[in-house]
Amino acid sequence: MHGKLIQMEQSLAPSVLTPINDPFLAKHQVNLWLKRDDLLHPIISGNKWRKLKYNLDEALTLGKDTLISMGGVYSNHLHALAYVGKHLNLKTIGFIRGERPEPLTPTLQDASDWGMELRFISRSDFRQLRQHQSRDSLPKMSANAYWLPEGGANRLALKGVAEVIDEIDIPYDVLCVACGTGATLAGLSQRVHESVSVLGFASLKTGSANKPDTYSFLADGIQSLLAENSHRFDIINDYHFGGFAKTDSKLMTFIIDFEEKTEIKLEPVYTGKMLYGIYDLIAQGYFKPGQRIITLHTGGLQGNRGFR
């Protein structure tokens, strides 16, 4: 790996495995741990670092000087990309969905302060960008530029995410993760042991397997990243709370209660929805008594600034 990235990785904090001690869990005889990727770094925490790691290595190895990607006005991915670009002396460009907000969101203000060039585009043009997946597929892109798809979701991202599995040193039956683009679920599925059930909790409204037109955005996107021999997974679609970044009082109350019990901060876009779903499924008897569940905290706590 490139020397600059080795130094950056060595500066990261450990991602510990934290047991969740809750009378509710004890009552239902379920054991729950949270893999604390949120602790890796204040900015490039969680799956953001893991998905960027090998893409950055390739960009540096190829001598690229510009990183280009896409996202929304509270994008954790663009926020992290702008930060690493500044620290690796790389120019960054972000295509932002929709009109420029006034003032800029805290996420975009950070990205701008770190040197990212913000380009606001229509929602239809944003959807068109999703078809470009490889590093050099963006039309009219400079030869010195490196393209990253939405959320950094590509094959190299999976390689970094899969390393989570190597860091889990206890036996477990179920592995749970929140899904936006699905790249993190795909990466985990490539490495997890065949005896483990893998559950992805959709953070956006995807419909169901009986409605392929809406379901395929997430499920097909994950399958396109995976090798044929990858581990089977299931997508839970019942806890999106109306759509991406949508919330309600039940979700926010759950997050507050969880933080008070555990002193672990959550955000309501990804990890908060996943844990709400896990607790609800436990109450319904979805998991067998004695099962050991590991959940991944994918960071992104900077996004909480959009929910004050």
Confidence (pLDDT) at 215: 44
Mean pLDDT across 248-252: 96
Q: Does domain 47-152 have CATH number 3.40.50.1100?
A: yes
Confidence (pLDDT) at 308: 63
- Does this model's pTM top 0.85? My answer is yes
Phi, psi of 139 (to 5 degrees): -60, 145
Work out the number of other CB atoms within 10 angstroms of the CB of residue 288: 11
Residue 212 has pLDDT above 50, yes or no: no
Mean pLDDT across 76-96: 97
- 244-257 burial, b if ≥16 CB within 10 A, otherwise e? ebebeeebeebbee
Confidence (pLDDT) at 133: 87
Residue 154 has pLDDT above 50, yes or no: yes
Q: What is the CATH number of domain 3-45+155-307?
A: 3.40.50.1100
Domain with CATH 3.40.50.1100 in the chain: 3-45+155-307, 47-152
Helix/strand/coil for 220: helix
Confidence (pLDDT) at 216: 56
Cα pseudo-dihedral 95, 96, 102, 105, rounded to 10: -110
Confidence (pLDDT) at 3: 85
Q: Is 217 exposed, middle or buried (0-12, 13-18, 19+ CB in 10 A)?
A: middle
Two tokens at 84? Answer: 């690493």
**Do residues 287 and 293 lie in contact, with contact meaning Cβ atoms separated by under 8 Å?**
yes
Two tokens at 272? Answer: 């908060």
In the sheet where 31-36 sits, what is the strand order?
17-19, 31-36, 292-297, 174-179, 197-202, 234-236
